[in-house]
Amino acid sequence: MDQNQSEGRIQSIWNQTSKKKILAGSGIFLATFALASYLLFSFPNIPNKLASSSNIGEKLSFFPVFKPEMKYGFILDTFHVSNDEIKPNQFLSEILDEHHVVYEKIDALARNTQDVFSVTKLRAGKNFMILSKDASSPAQYFIYEPDVYSYVVYDIEKGTAEVIEREITTEVKASSGIIESSLWQTMVDNDLSYDLASRLEDVFGWSIDFHHVQNGDRFKVIYESRSIDGKVVGVGDILGAYYKNYDNEYHGVYFENEQHQGYYDLEARPMKKNFLKSPVKYSRISSGFNMNRFHPVLKRRKAHLGTDYAAPYGTPILAVANGVVTKASRTRGNGNYVKIKHDKTYQTQYLHMQKFAKGISPGVHVKQGQVIGYVGSTGLATGPHVCFRFWKNGRQVNHRRLNFPPAEPMPQSDIPRFNQVRDAIVEQLNLIQFKEKAVLAKTEHNASEEKEVSKSNP
């Protein structure tokens, strides 16, 4: 809602209540006069204290200041307010009927607002607010929050609706961490979001296999934190990041101009390469490429010519590179599977899917990172996972041992500007200190507290 709309709504509310205020004005005046007389009679020095004070703020602070409560562009103090959440199988008609709205108005509201925000989109568990003149009067406004980024105001009297986008504040923040078990657990231990872990994978997903990080790996990150009314609601772009995996160090710098947009290493080469390291996020390798593996279902030795990524049912499976779907089918062993041809050299296959993504069928072109299916356990599988298979020149190989050539750097004409951005980001990354390991820090803190207690209680 822009400022004019907000002011208009406030002015409308003011007009509705002005008559009541005028009628009550004389009573308020008499009450104020009586109170002032009492104060002057009982505390005759008050005027002198106010007059002698050199601080005008001190004089004014003697009188109480009333600050109205504002929300959704309304002055809530002028309404009877009801807050609740939508219950399972509860419809808007049922809610408004409980707040004295006649069926004709409910029907008109539902029909008139279909193209703005249909009442059929209201979902159980979501919050809503109802504003009315008093507890016995019909509801005037129904306000619904579909997500943290917006809310919908239904004007019941007019039979209209308006979707208002909340103002998002973006702030640049910096953080770091030392891996103890996984990247995602380290994010939680450092009060960071899974969203930031996912964005970090977006930066390094072509260079680092996040399913094989080790204790002691460390990262630094400069990123945009998005908040609404002081509450963090998400992560924007990562502006720069550093990751040390084993003895290898990686930098990712966000750069954007008319020709380029994305993440680049310190030599101005795109971080994005031909193939992602993994087809799923938030998973673990449950079985690697093995020529002599004992099959858990068949109970005999059989070559395992793929890599198993265990993940919860329904986890999205991503195409690791651009290509064309050659098969989207089912067999007894593979279950639901998809096979993609990327070029004359490389093909990939994804087994045991719960189901295919919408539109995935033979002949369809897919892009790198596109969802092609969802993790399941169809075929010869003991639990939810995706068996990822990689072909090179018609032969199945261990994709985790392949070294693909680095991408070409950006044109020389763009590199001076990139270097300026790179140097500024690297300078800021170098200033970030690594946080202590969260678990170790908590343990030492608790031990210190216990020691202090024992000293005070010999």
The CATH number given to whatever domain includes residue 292 is 2.70.70.10
Looking at the fold, whether 297 and 219 belong to one and the same domain comes out as no
User: In whole angstroms, what is the distance from residue 413 CA to residue 361 CA?
Assistant: 42
Task: Tell which wins on pLDDT, 293 or 149.
Answer: 149
Of 133, 166, 199, the last residue of a domain is 166
Cβ atoms of residues 117 and 156 within 8 Å: no
Considering the entire predicted model, what is its pTM?
Answer: 0.61
Tell me the mean pLDDT in the region 184-213. Answer: 82
| Window from 217-221, 332-336, 378-382, 421-425 with minimum mean pLDDT | 378-382
Residue at 408 is within a domain:
no
Task: Say which amino acid occupies 95.
Answer: I
Q: How sure is the predictor about 402, in pLDDT bands with cuts at 50, 70 and 90?
A: confident
Looking at the fold, whether 54 and 139 belong to one and the same domain comes out as no
Looking at the fold, whether 379 and 298 belong to one and the same domain comes out as yes
pLDDT for 66 equals 67
Residue at 107 is within a domain:
yes
Mean confidence (pLDDT) of the chain: 81
Residue at 455 is within a domain:
no
The CATH number given to whatever domain includes residue 151 is 3.10.450.350
Q: Which of 58, 284, 320 is nearest to 183 (CA)?
A: 284
Looking at the fold, whether 394 and 329 belong to one and the same domain comes out as yes
Tell me the mean pLDDT in the region 357-363. Answer: 95
Q: How sure is the predictor about 362, in pLDDT bands with cuts at 50, 70 and 90?
A: very high
Residue at 358 is within a domain:
yes
Q: How sure is the predictor about 451, in pLDDT bands with cuts at 50, 70 and 90?
A: very low
Q: What is the 3-state secondary structure (H, E, C) of 297-330?
A: CCCCEEEECCEEEECCCCCEEECCCCEEEEEEEE
pLDDT for 129 equals 96
Looking at the fold, whether 388 and 311 belong to one and the same domain comes out as yes
With a pLDDT cut of 70, the percent of the chain lying above it is 76
Residue at 446 is within a domain:
no
Looking at the fold, whether 184 and 102 belong to one and the same domain comes out as no
Looking at the fold, whether 288 and 373 belong to one and the same domain comes out as yes
Residue at 57 is within a domain:
yes
Question: Is the pLDDT at 172 greater than 70, yes or no?
Answer: yes
Of 209, 230, 264, the last residue of a domain is 264
Owning domain of residue 30: 1-63
Looking at the fold, whether 173 and 208 belong to one and the same domain comes out as yes
User: In whole angstroms, what is the distance from residue 292 CA to residue 307 CA?
Assistant: 14
Question: Is the pLDDT at 424 greater than 80, yes or no?
Answer: yes
Residue at 425 is within a domain:
no
pLDDT for 337 equals 96
Q: How many domains does one find in the chain?
A: 4
HSE at residue 69, side-chain half, CA atoms within 13 A, is 6
Task: Tell which wins on pLDDT, 324 or 286.
Answer: 324
Token pair, residue 319, equals 């195409």
Looking at the fold, whether 17 and 79 belong to one and the same domain comes out as no
Looking at the fold, whether 294 and 372 belong to one and the same domain comes out as yes
Q: Residue 200 in 3-state DSSP?
A: helix
With a pLDDT cut of 90, the percent of the chain lying above it is 48
Sort 427 into a burial class: Cβ within 10 Å, 0-12 / 13-18 / 19+.
exposed
Tell me the mean pLDDT in the region 415-436. Answer: 91
Looking at the fold, whether 149 and 221 belong to one and the same domain comes out as no
Token pair, residue 209, equals 């296999």
What does the pLDDT look like over 7-60, one tens digit per residue?
444 344 334 434 433 333 444 444 444 445 544 444 455 455 444 545 555 555
Looking at the fold, whether 248 and 204 belong to one and the same domain comes out as yes
Tell me the mean pLDDT in the region 59-72. Answer: 70
Residue at 275 is within a domain:
no
pLDDT for 59 equals 53
DSSP letter at 368? T
Q: How sure is the predictor about 353, in pLDDT bands with cuts at 50, 70 and 90?
A: very high
Sort 289 into a burial class: Cβ within 10 Å, 0-12 / 13-18 / 19+.
buried
What does the pLDDT look like over 248-272, one tens digit per residue?
899 999 999 887 788 999 999 888 8
pLDDT for 17 equals 39
Q: Which of 158, 191, 154 is nearest to 175 (CA)?
A: 191
Radius of gyration of the chain (CA): 31
